[in-house]
């Protein structure tokens, strides 16, 4: 959802990460706030939101920040304000 080239619903594959899902959606638009990417997960009726610093993952190689996703997760990429 948000500032990706092809927002939509995609099929989960075991072992997928946030980066995998974003690449499947065509990557970021030019207006994306990459370090404000959010992973929203519902577990046992509780919603958790994680900030995923994708700019750090993609540009700086900080792969430890690239979270694994689970079925039903939603990834939100907001637009940058500047």
The answer for 45, left when phi > 0, alpha when psi is -120 to 50, beta otherwise, is left
What is the Cα–Cα distance from 1 to 53, expressed in whole angstroms? 16
Sorted by where each begins, the domain ranges of the chain are 18-76
Confidence of residue 81 (pLDDT cuts 50, 70, 90): confident
pLDDT tens track for 39-77: 999 999 999 999 999 999 999 999 999 999 999 999 999
Q: What percent of the chain has pLDDT over 90?
A: 96
10-21 pLDDT tens trace? 999 999 999 999
Confidence tier at 82 by pLDDT (50, 70, 90): low
The rounded percent of the chain whose pLDDT value lies above 70 is 99
Q: Is the pTM of this model over 0.85?
A: yes
Nearby residues of 80 by Cβ (< 8 Å), 6 or more positions away: 3, 31, 32, 33, 36
pLDDT digits (tens, 9 = 90+) for 32-45: 999 999 999 999 99
Using DSSP's 3-state secondary structure scheme, residue 32 falls into: strand
Residue 35 phi, psi (nearest 5) = -85, 5
């Amino acid at each position: 959802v948000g500032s990706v080239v092809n927002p939509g619903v995609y099929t989960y594959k075991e072992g997928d990460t946030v980066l995998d899902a974003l690449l499947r959606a065509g990557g970021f638009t030019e207006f994306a706030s990459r370090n404000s990417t959010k992973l929203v997960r519902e577990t046992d009726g509780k919603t958790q939101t994680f900030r995923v610093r994708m700019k750090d993952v993609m540009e700086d190689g900080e792969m430890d920040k690239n979270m694994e996703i689970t079925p039903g997760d939603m990834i939100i990429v907001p637009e940058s304000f500047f």
